[in-house]
Amino acid sequence: MFRFKPILHPHDPKELPYWIPWLGHLVRFTKNSFSLLQEGRRYFGNTGEPFALTIAGQSLYVVTSAKDIEELYRNKSTLSWEGFVQDLYRWIGFSDNAVKKLWQPPTEHAKTSNPVRVLSPNEMVAEYQRRQLRPGKNLESLAKSMIKHIDDLLRWQNLDVGQTRVLPCSDQWLTLSLIDWTSHTFIRSTTEAYWGKKLFEIDPDLLQTYNIWERTSWKYVFQIPRLFSQDMYNARDKLVDAFTAYFRLPQAERAETAWFVPIAEAEMRDIGLGERDLGRAHMLQHWAINGNMHKVTFWIMAHLLHRPALLEAIRKETAPGVVDDTPNIPYLLENCPRLEAIYHEVLRLQMSNSLMRHVTAPTTLGGKVLQENRNVLMPYRLLHYDEEVWGANASIFDPDRFLLRKELARDPNYRPFGGGQHMCPGRFVAKQAIFAFIALTFSRFDVCLQSDEKAGGSREHSHNCGFNRHFPRAEDLKPGLATLGPREGDEVLVRCSPRIKV
């Protein structure tokens, strides 16, 4: 079949060969998607031309060229983002009628009653989120709230609150799981900055449920059959239940929110959607907001902990950015070039987001014709590992890469935040929060890797900090949707103690 199809359809993207009909590349895609995508690019000679995969009977086009991706950003006539978003809404439980209402252009009456309503309700909600997150007073208010929560959680008495198991400790030091630490700090801070404390009162296990959802949400996006996805469905439904209960409360009981929450709620209630649909929509918003910060911070900290000299350099660089135990965000953003370079390098290596589009009419791209009713995947991580762009050490962490070549942060092959009109609006607040965490941590605490013996689970404690057995591997065996986390079992244990300032 793979020999004859190019002859019959010479202009279609070529299919990467597979053995089992219908299943196609499903097993390999779910076990190590990045390796499969790399193989596809190599199989077709690293030409950058689009190629095709088959996933459970569905054809998926893969675009690997930065030039083609730029063209996809510009194409708004035959490539649709909205179809994919509508699918996300339907898969979480929105009825066809609710989806129709969300994408219905505003009537003249609606425009008259609310002059700012010039788009469909769904587009208005997205616009409200952009207004929340783009530079201005709304962003300043949100960032101030998030950083205040981070500040509180980085107090000595609060450090071990988010740990999921008992680890060695004393009055003078704590052993922390790095991923538990960053996850609890950022997801709790972001959730409370947006929706207040009520969500955690409704469901005290919200964070643990979210972590399960995050590990399994790729099954949702790629619609893996329920037989193999019950863990994802259970976590999804529990999160929706929490948000539904939240929106059933009187607004007076949940008044401490970000600007976005009540205005987005009003937009959806105006078209007749109830609390269950509000819960579904805000669960998706919560997922989009929380996909990156804690994992980016995890990788920055992991690299610094494995390189004590670099850690001390960052401690010294960020020290003037903490005044009276408070982070000076403008200073940290403008005067920490080494931290900035490490931040970009971590995003390059660990960001696994992809752009999805739906083909609504035959579309020529990269010399190939994409057929209608197919989906297009643009995995940015392939660009980030291209040795022709980044050199022979493309797969290796280089803390000086962006320090010595600052222009790389603007290279078209560097896409940690996507591009076009859907470029991630949260990039501004995320950077502020991550830099605040790093600066406050190194200002308040002495941190180092727990020794090999302690990483193995011993309850005894050594006063000598050693190295964990291996640097953690990224969880790139499953399809990634945002920043990759560490593989299960690749633990990073951190010994933390209050810093004695001389």
Q: Which pLDDT score is estimated for 452?
A: 41
- Cβ–Cβ < 8 Å for 66, 49: no
Going from the C-alpha of 426 to that of each of 98, 139, 146, 384, the distances in angstroms are 27, 9, 13, 20
Q: Which pLDDT score is estimated for 454?
A: 43
- The upper half-sphere exposure of residue 86, i.e. CA atoms within 13 Å in the direction of its Cβ, equals 18
> Would you call 483 helix, strand, or coil by DSSP?
strand
Tokens of 277: 């649909």
Q: How many helices (H) and strands (E) does the chain have?
A: 24, 13
Which of 207, 122, 222 has the alpha carbon at shortest distance from 162?
207
Q: Which pLDDT score is estimated for 116?
A: 66
Tokens of 454: 């302690």
Cβ neighbours, 10 Å, residue 1: 8
| pLDDT digits 0-9 by tens, 333-359 | 999 999 999 999 999 999 988 888 889
Q: Which pLDDT score is estimated for 435?
A: 98
Q: Which pLDDT score is estimated for 464?
A: 39
448 labelled binding-site residue: no
Q: Which pLDDT score is estimated for 354?
A: 84
Query: DSSP per residue over 307-364, as a string?
Result: -HHHHHHHHHHHGGGEETTEE-HHHHHHS-HHHHHHHHHHHHHHB--EEEEEESS-EE
Going from the C-alpha of 466 to that of each of 408, 450, 461, the distances in angstroms are 34, 6, 12
Gyration radius (Cα) of the chain, Å: 23
Walk along the chain (502 residues) and give the pLDDT tens digit of each residue.
454 455 556 889 999 999 998 889 988 888 888 999 999 999 999 999 999 999 888 899 999 999 999 998 899 899 988 888 898 999 999 999 999 999 999 877 666 666 667 889 999 999 999 999 999 999 999 999 999 999 999 999 998 887 777 688 888 999 999 999 999 999 999 999 999 999 999 999 999 999 999 999 988 988 888 888 999 999 999 999 999 999 999 999 999 999 999 999 999 999 999 999 999 999 999 999 999 999 999 999 999 999 999 999 999 999 999 999 999 999 999 999 999 999 999 999 999 888 888 899 999 999 999 999 999 999 999 999 999 999 999 999 999 999 999 999 999 999 999 887 778 999 999 999 999 999 999 999 999 998 743 443 333 333 334 444 589 999 988 777 789 999 988 989 999 999 987 5
Query: If you search the block for the tokens 């762009």, which residue do you land on?
Result: 389
**Contacts with 427 (C-beta within 8 Å, 6 or more apart), sequence order:** 417
| pLDDT digits 0-9 by tens, 66-104 | 999 999 889 989 998 888 889 899 999 999 999 999 999
* Cα–Cα distance, 492 to 472 (Å, whole number): 7
**Domains in the chain, ordered, with CATH?**
5-94+358-381 (no CATH), 104-353+385-498 (1.10.630.10)
Q: Which pLDDT score is estimated for 114?
A: 66
Q: Which pLDDT score is estimated for 170?
A: 85
Residue 237 belongs to what H/E stretch? helix 230-248
Residue 55 belongs to what H/E stretch? strand 51-55
